[in-house]
Amino acid sequence: MASPTNLRSRRNAAQLQALAGVEREIRSQDSHNRRKYLREFNHAFRNYESLLDSEQVQNALRAADVVLIGDYHALAAAQRYAASMLEQRALTGDRSVVLGVETIFARDQHILDEWWRREIDEAELRQRIRFDLDWGYDWSPFRELLVAARDHAEALYGLDCMPREDLRKIGARDRHAAAKISEIRERHPNAVIFVLFGESHLAPGHLPRVLEKQMPGAKILTVLQNVDALYWRAAGERSDKVEAVRVNDDVLCVFNATPLEKYESYRLFLDQWSRADEGPDFAPTIYNLIDSLASFLEINRYAPHNGTQPKFLIDLLPEVHGRSSDVMLRRLLNRKGMTETECESLLASVEDRGSAYLPLINAFYIREIQMVHAAEDAARFLHHACQGLPQRLNGRKPDGTRANGDRAGERRTSMDDFYAHVIEHAVADFGSRVLHPSRPVPAADESLQLSRAALEKAAQTASRGGDDKAESAAREWGYRIGSQIYEAYLAGKVAPSGVRRLFLAHLGESGMARKVCAAVIAKLRAISRPSARAAHA
């Protein structure tokens, strides 16, 4: 069994590679992290007392009079989690709830009240509180929070005051917020007060200390979200996913995003702000994921020869298209033979995942960064690149399957393609997990034994069911194999260099993909045997 230190290292290795690049870019544009106020927050929460499950978190919320929720403004998951907490607490029915937010100045309370009474619509609220000009983060998750409050809370308040940009005045903003929260307590003496405020304000010596002086006797609970030091420490726990931890009696921390998600979201906002009216540039995010996964797998991006390394990977990096380049992307796909109906279907599928890698044109199409899918897509690109772009793309559909009449594939059979797709899904799953360790584990089907015979039976069944059934079966098997490779990696039984060989395996020859699948399954079964014997000892 791997030690906590080894688990922590293996779970975080690739993500730390990706995070380093993001942090360098953020530091080049934002020097505020050197401020004493922010350093105090970063140094305040380094350890925790125990793990918490969702029921224990809810018990802690039920015991509190005031709940201070740490907000990472650039991360939509932070605001959405706050909305879910408020809704769940309200639905218990024992006490009413009230919400206060940093996002809206207290001076604009009358505007908020007009929206609350449905006298003005969302667009007017957004414009009059100068949301885009004075706040500048994503409106959608904040709007969801406001709607949740209007549906479930007794009242909604703005808590902040100017100036926001001058950190020399940040202590005054804490004192102002504490005074407003105290006033809310007087107006709603029986309600639980939820407060969403920037995470740095929630260091013990900041807003909580001021609030304790303002409201002696009140039970104040601080709920942090995704604090870096606590996240990295929790990665060493045996549990596959740590939901929350108790820092002390008055502070807990929940995990709903990785540090990489946090800082990539902030980097995107920095880029968006610097580009004025232009949309965010997703290319650095994708290239950073690819670069980090390549470094993790010990792939030299500048290797001049194929073999144990892909030739000049740096020259194979894909194009990255966003919503603003829809027309250009359609033209590219049409030139490759896609019909307008196929384009519409492809673009619609991106709405669910946020992104897609299109091997036909070696390009990414992105509407939003959903890290679990973006990481998987980055791994798919790397797999295709290791197979030898652009030759592998010739005659392929955008999803990577071979088009009819592909002469280059005449030596290959549908069974060859099935096994090749199993490997592609396996490396995509593994790559996604090392970059995004909280990716959900596929549900285990106890009737499906991981064996060469079972896979061959699945391949034969899928080949008789058409392309869609074959692709579904290949994806299911690939994700299962990828998940088990990742578990073996966490246990220290598979090295990154071994996985690199799987990325680089030459699958173009007839029968080769089947042999590679058989070898991988044999390796995984051999790895699992000692632990199985130990379990029966």
- Residue 87 identity: E
**Dihedral sign of CA atoms 286, 291, 292, 294 in order:** positive
CATH number for the domain harbouring residue 30: 3.40.50.11550
Residue 532 has pLDDT above 50, yes or no: no
Residue 279 has pLDDT above 90, yes or no: no
Report yes or no: 285 and 271 within 8 Å, Cβ to Cβ: no
Task: Give the pLDDT confidence score for residue 424 in this predicted structure.
Answer: 94
Domain-embedded: residue 463 = no
Report yes or no: 367 and 350 within 8 Å, Cβ to Cβ: yes
Residue labelled with tokens 């779970």: 11
In the numeric block, which tokens belong to residue 497? 């260099």
Average pLDDT for the chain: 85
Give the list of residues 6+ apart from residue 151 with CB closer than 8 angstroms, or none: 87
Domain-embedded: residue 224 = yes
Domain-embedded: residue 405 = no
Domain-embedded: residue 345 = no
Report yes or no: 366 and 289 within 8 Å, Cβ to Cβ: no
What is the domain extent for residue 20?
4-273
Virtual torsion, Cα 418, 502, 448, 435, nearest 10 deg: -110
Report yes or no: 100 and 229 within 8 Å, Cβ to Cβ: no
| Mean pLDDT on 31-59 | 87
| Mean pLDDT on 497-511 | 87
Task: Give the pLDDT confidence score for residue 29 in this predicted structure.
Answer: 65
* Residues 166-224 pLDDT 10s: 777 888 889 999 999 999 999 999 999 999 999 999 999 999 999 999 999 999 999 99
Report yes or no: 358 and 332 within 8 Å, Cβ to Cβ: no
Residue 389 has pLDDT above 80, yes or no: no
From 105-114, 254-263, 317-326, the region with the lowest mean pLDDT: 317-326
Residue 443 has pLDDT above 90, yes or no: no
3-state secondary structure 415-461: HHHHHHHHHHHHHHHHHHHHHCCCCCCCCCCCCCCCCHHHHHHHHHH
More confident residue, 334 or 118: 118
Task: Give the pLDDT confidence score for residue 447 in this predicted structure.
Answer: 52
Distance CA 139, CA 242 (A): 29
Pairing of strands 244-248, 251-254: antiparallel
Q: Is the peptide bond before 390 cis (omega within 30 degrees of 0)?
A: yes
Domain-embedded: residue 242 = yes
Distance CA 393, CA 261 (A): 31
Report yes or no: 413 and 510 within 8 Å, Cβ to Cβ: yes
Residue 412 has pLDDT above 80, yes or no: no
Backbone phi and psi for residue 121, each to the nearest 5 degrees, phi listed first: -90, 180
Distances (CA, A) of 313 to 248, 309, 329, 390: 48, 9, 23, 12
Domain-embedded: residue 516 = no
Residue 392 has pLDDT above 60, yes or no: no
Distance of CA 248 to the CA centre of its chain: 27
Distance CA 126, CA 122 (A): 6
- Residue 310 identity: P
Domain total of the chain: 1
Percent of the chain with pLDDT over 90: 47
Distances (CA, A) of 419 to 310, 353, 513: 21, 24, 5
Task: Give the pLDDT confidence score for residue 403 in this predicted structure.
Answer: 41
Taking Cα atoms as reference points, which of 355, 463, 339 lies closest to residue 397? 339
Q: Please report which confidence band the pLDDT of residue 325 belongs to, taking 50, 70 and 90 as the band edges.
A: low
Distance CA 290, CA 375 (A): 8
Domain-embedded: residue 94 = yes
Domain-embedded: residue 313 = no
Give the list of residues 6+ apart from residue 10 with CB closer than 8 angstroms, or none: 2, 489, 490, 492
